[in-house]
A and B are shown apart, each in its own frame.
Chain A
Amino acid sequence: MSDTALHPRSLLWLARQEGRLSWRDLVWLMTAGYRWRGRSVAIWLLIVAVVMHVIAWGMVRRYADVSLGAGVESFMAISGSIGLAFFLMLSQALEQVTRLFYGRGDLDLLKSSPTSLRRVLGLRVLSVATSTCAMTLFVAGPFINVLTFEGGPRWLCGYGVAIAAGLAASGIALVLTSALFDLMGARRTRLAAQIVAAVIGSAFIIAIQVVAIVSIGTMSQSAFFHSESVMAHAPDLDSPLWLPARAILGDPVPLLIVLVIGAAMFAVPVLLLAGRLGDYAMAAASADLALGRSSGAGFTGLFLGRFRARSGAQLLRRKEWVLLLRDPWLASQSLMQLLYLIPPAIFLWRSYGESQGALIVLAPVLTMAAGQLGGGLAWLAVSGEDAPDLIASAPITERRMILAKVQSVLLAILLVFAPFLIAMAGRSLEIAGIVAVGIALAATSSTLIQVWFRSQAKRRYFRRRQTSSRIATFAEAFSSVAWAGSAAIAAGGSWVAIGPTVIALLVLAGAWLIRPK
C-alpha cells in the first residue's frame, strides 16, 4: 500500500508507523544496531530454530499419540505446561506495557500533536499483544510442529491456544499496570511493575517446585503433576479448567471457546481503559521530571561509610555496591535469579538430616545460579560503568580498577551463597567444599568472560546485554552449565567430574582466544 493511500492520522496510518517502529526495535534488539549483523542474525535464528526442533523432538515426540481420551493425568501435565508458558507471557507483556508508558521516546512528540493519544496507545497495546504472541509462537512453535509431524494436524490447534494466551496475557498486563498506577501512583508504578513482572515470570515454576518439595519431597515438576496427591485434587474430566488442554489436543469447540475468551480478555480491558491510557502516559512523564529531588544518601550511605575508604580499590567496590543497592530495578533484575534459590533452600531445609543425596541435587543448582548471577553483576560493574571517563582519568591503573570491580562481584556472590554453604557444611563438609569451589569457579569464569568482552553501555540496557556480544553470552552460559555438571558429579564422588571441568576450561580458553583485542 502506498503512503498516499493511507490518510495521515488514520488508524491504518498509525498502525503502519507502529509496525515499522516495532520491527526496527526488534532488529535493533537482535543486531545491537550493527547492520552487518543482519545476515549472521538470520543464520543464528535458523540454527536456533533447528536446535529447538531437535530439542522438541527429544522432549515431546513420545506424546504425539496423546488424544482427547487420555484422561486427567495427561490433561494435568498439558495444563501445567500451559500455566508455565502463560506466566512467562504475562511477565513479558507486563514489562512491555510498562515500557509503553515510561519509555519516553516519542511520547512527548505524540502528546504535543493533535493526534489522539488514546488511539496511539491503544495501538501500542495491540502491538504488545502481537509481540507477546510472536514470542510465544517462536518458543512453542517447534514443539507444536514436532507433535503435528508425529501425531497429525490436530496439534496445530496449539497455535490457536498460544495466540489466545498471548491476548489474555496482554489484557491482564494492562489491567495490572492500570491498577498499579491507581494504587501506587506514577512514580512507583514503573519499579513495582518491573518487579511484579520478574516475580510473575519465575513465580509459577518456583511455586510448583516449592509445593512439590513440601508435598512429595522432590523438585521435579513432572513428578509433581503425576503425583497421587495432585491427581486426588484434580477436577473432573468435563471441568472447564481442561478447556485449554482439550483445545491443544485438537477439540474444535474448546479451541473456539479459548480463542473467544482470550480475545475478550484483551479487548475488554483495552476498551474500558483506553480513555485513561493518555492520563497514565502524562502522569508517567511528570513522575520522571519529579524524580530524585527528595532522595538522599539513605541507609546505603551510612552502611557503606559515605565513601571514606582507604584505597581506590575499596572505593570502587563500595561504589558498585551502593549503586546496585540504590537502583531497585537493577537489583531486582540481577538478583531475580536468587528467587530460583528458594526451592533449593526449602529442599535443603526439608531434607536436613536425611541422606546426602539432597545435597548432591543442590550442587548444580547453586553453581549454575552463581555463574549467572556473577555474569550479570560483572556486566553492571565493568561494562555498565556510568562514568567511564572519570574512572579512566583517575590516577588508578586499569588493572587495579578491573580487579576492584571483580572483587566487588565475587564478594557479593560470597555474601549471597554463604548461608547455603554453611547449611550444607553442617551436613557434609566435603560436599559443601565441592559446591563452594564450584560456585567460586562458575562466578569467576562468568566474571572473566564479562571482563574480556567488556564494551561500554548504559546500565539501563542491562536486560539487553546479551545482544552486545552473543559469544560472551553463550560462553557464560556454557561455562556455568559445565561447572554445574562438574560440581554435581564431583559431589556424587565420581572422577568423571574431570570431563565437564575440562569442557568449562576449554570454553574459557576459547573465549579468551577470541576476545576483542
Chain B
Amino acid sequence: MIVREMDSSLGGSDTGSALAVRGLRKVFQRPAVDGLDLTIRRGEFYALLGPNGAGKTTTLRMVAGLMKPDAGSVSIFGIDALARPNAAKQITAWVSDEPMIYDKLTPLEYLAFVAGLWGIDPKLAETNARDLLRWLELAPNADERCEGFSKGMRQKVALAGALVHDPRLIILDEPLTGLDARAARLVKDVLLEKVRQGCTVIMTTHILEVAERMAERIGVISRGKLIAEGTLDELRSQAGSQVGDTSLEDVFLTLVGGEEPLP
C-alpha cells in the first residue's frame, strides 16, 4: 500500500488554502473517516475518489457543515468552519448526488429562495438566477414547477441553486450520476468555467474519466484515510506504475488494493 506523503508546501500553512482539513474523524459503527488530512488550493479543481464506503461523502458532508465531526478541524478560506459555521457556509455551496429541490416551486422561485437564505439582494438574485438558468439551458422551464422535471433537469436546478449566491468553494458529491451525455457535458462546462473564474471545486465521482480530464489534482480515499494524492502523473508514480499512459482506473485499482493493474 502506498503511504501518502504530505506535500509540505500545502500541509504547513492553511491560510493560503481554500480548504484545509486536519485530523478529521467520524465514527458510526466503525470509523467512516479516520484522521483525514486534506488541503485544497484556491482556484483548484479537486476530485476525491475512493471505493464505496470509503468515507468520501461523509468527509464532504462534514466540510459542508451537514454533519459534525467527532474530531479534527475544517478551515474554509481561513475560516474555522466548526467554530464559525455560518461564516463558512456563506462562501460555500453543496450539491448532492440526489438533488433535493422543492417540487412545488418553479426554478426561478427555488433560486430566489436559495439566494434569500444566503442573504443575496433580491434584484441581484433574480439577475443571477436568470443568467444561470439560461446557462444551464433551463430558461424555457423557468416558470414551470419542478415536480415534472427529469433527474437531469433537477440536478441542473440544484447546481444553479449552488451557484446563485456566487460561492468561493463548491462541494459536489457525485454530481454527474444519472445525467445524460448532454446534461453531463453542460454541468462539467459550468464547473470548469467557475474554476476559471476563480472558484474552488471539490467533487467526488465514480466516473474516473471525469476526474482524469477535469481535476487538477486527485485524492484517493480508502477506509476513511487519504492514501494518495496528486496529479495523474504523480498518482501513477505513487502507484508504482512505470508506464506513462496507465489509465487512472488502473492506478486507482492499484492504490485501493482492488486488483493488479491491467496490462
Residues of A at the B interface (CB closer than 8 Å) are 289-297, 301, 306-309, 312, 315-316, 319, 322-323, 326-327, 386-397
Cβ B65 vs Cβ A393 within 8 A: yes
Q: What is the bound-complex CA distance between A390 and B92, given in angstroms?
A: 11
A40 to B217: give the CA distance in the assembly, Å: 52
- Given the known interface contacts A315-B116, A394-B118, the answer about A295 and B109 at a Cβ–Cβ threshold of 8 Å is no
Residue ID in chain A nearest B64 by CB atoms: A393
Cβ-defined contact, A307 with B112, below 8 A: yes
Kindly list chain B residues whose C-beta atoms are within 8 Å of the C-beta of A312. Answer: 116-117, 119
Query: How many inter-chain contacts with C-beta < 8 Å in the A-B complex?
Result: 105
Chain B contact residues: over half helix, strand or loop, or mixed?
A: mixed
Count of B residues near A, CB < 8 Å? 37
Give the distance in Å from the alpha carbon of A327 to the alpha carbon of B105 in the complex: 10
Closest-CB distance, B69 to chain A (whole angstroms): 15
Determine the distance from Cα of A391 to Cα of B100 in the docked complex, in whole angstroms: 11
Contacting B102 at CB < 8 Å: which of A293, A296, A386?
A386
Q: Mark B58-99, 1 if CB is under 8 A from A, else 0.
A: 000000111000000000000000000111011011101000
Shortest Cβ gap from B125 to chain A (Å):
9
Task: Give the chain A neighbours of B114 by CB distance below 8 A.
Answer: 390, 394
Residues of A within 8 A of B100 (CB): 386-390
Q: Could you say which residues of chain A place their CB within 8 Å of the CB of B66?
A: 389, 392-393
**Are B148 and A297 in contact (CB-based, < 8 A)?**
no
Residues of B whose CB lies within 8 Å of any CB of A are 64-66, 85-87, 89-90, 92-94, 96, 100-106, 108-109, 112-114, 116-119, 122, 143-149, 161
The CA of A326 and the CA of B147, in the complex, are separated in Å by 11
In the bound complex, what is the Cα–Cα distance between A319 and B118 (angstroms)? 15
- Given A307-B116, A315-B113, A390-B161, 12 more pairs with CB closer than 8 A: A289-B148, A291-B148, A292-B149, A293-B144, A295-B145, A297-B143, A308-B122, A322-B104, A322-B109, A386-B101, A389-B96, A394-B114
Query: What residues of B have a CB within 8 angstroms of the CB of A290 in the complex?
Result: 148
| Contacting residue for B144 out of A295, A326, A394, A395, CB 8 A | A295
Question: Contact: B118 with A308, CB < 8 Å?
Answer: no
Contact B89 A296 (CB under 8 A): no
Contact A319 B147 (CB under 8 A): no
Instruction: Kindly state the separation between the CA atoms of A386 and B114 in the bound complex, as whole angstroms.
Output: 13
* Complex contact A389–B94 (CB within 8 A): yes
For this complex, 19 residue pairs linking A to B, each with C-beta atoms less than 8 Å apart, are: A292-B146, A295-B148, A296-B143, A296-B145, A307-B112, A308-B112, A312-B116, A315-B116, A315-B117, A326-B145, A386-B103, A389-B96, A393-B64, A393-B65, A393-B66, A393-B89, A394-B118, A395-B86, A395-B117
Complex contacts, A391 vs chain B, CB 8 Å: 117
User: A504 vs B144: C-alpha distance in the bound complex, in angstroms?
Assistant: 46
Determine the distance from Cα of A309 to Cα of B120 in the docked complex, in whole angstroms.
10
Given contacts A295-B144, A319-B113, A396-B117, contact A326 B104 (CB under 8 A): yes
Q: Are A323 and B148 in contact (CB under 8 A)?
A: no
Which of B96, B109, B114 has the most chain A CB atoms closer than 10 A to its own CB?
A: B109
Cβ–Cβ contact A393 & B94, under 8 A: yes
The interface residues of chain A lying within 8 Å CB-to-CB of B90 are: 395
Chain A's closest residue to B89 (CB) is: A395
Shortest Cβ distance from A461 into chain B, in angstroms?
14
Q: 8 shortest A-B CB distances, which residue pairs?
A: A292-B148, A292-B147, A307-B112, A326-B104, A394-B117, A395-B89, A393-B94, A395-B86
Inter-chain CA distance A309–B117, complex, in Å, is 10
Question: Measured between C-beta atoms, what is the minimum distance from B211 to chain A in Å?
Answer: 23
Minimum C-beta distance from B67 to chain A (A): 9
User: Separation in Å of the A39 CB from the closest CB of chain B?
Assistant: 23
Given contacts A309-B116, A395-B86, contact A387 B94 (CB under 8 A): no
CB distance from B201 to the nearest CB of A (A): 15
B65, A323: Cβ atoms under 8 Å? no
Contact (Cβ within 8 A) A296 B104:
no
Contact residue among B86, B94, B109, B145 (Cβ-Cβ distance under 8 Å from A397)? B86
**Chain B positions within 8 Å of A315 at CB level:** 113, 116-117
B146 cross-chain contacts in A, Cβ below 8 A = 292
Residues from chain B with a CB closer than 8 A to the CB of A395 are 85-87, 89-90, 117-119
Give Cα A315–Cα B125 distance, bound, in whole angstroms: 14
Nearest A residue to B144 via CB reads A293
A292-B145 contact in complex given A312-B117, A326-B104, A388-B100, C-beta closer than 8 Å: yes
Residues of A within 8 A of B96 (CB): 389
Given contacts A292-B149, A393-B65, A395-B89, contact A323 B144 (CB under 8 A): no
Cα(A392)–Cα(B85), bound, Å: 10
Establish whether residues B86 and A294, one from each chain, have CB atoms under 8 Å apart when the complex forms.
Answer: no
Query: Which chain B residues lie closer than 8 Å to A295 at the CB level?
Result: 144-145, 147-148
Most buried by A among B85, B92, B104: B104
Q: Which of A293, A386, A393 contacts B92 (CB 8 A)?
A: A393
Report the minimum CB–CB distance from B115 to chain A (whole Å). 8
Determine the chain A residues whose CB is within 8 A of the CB of B105 once the complex forms.
319, 322-323, 326
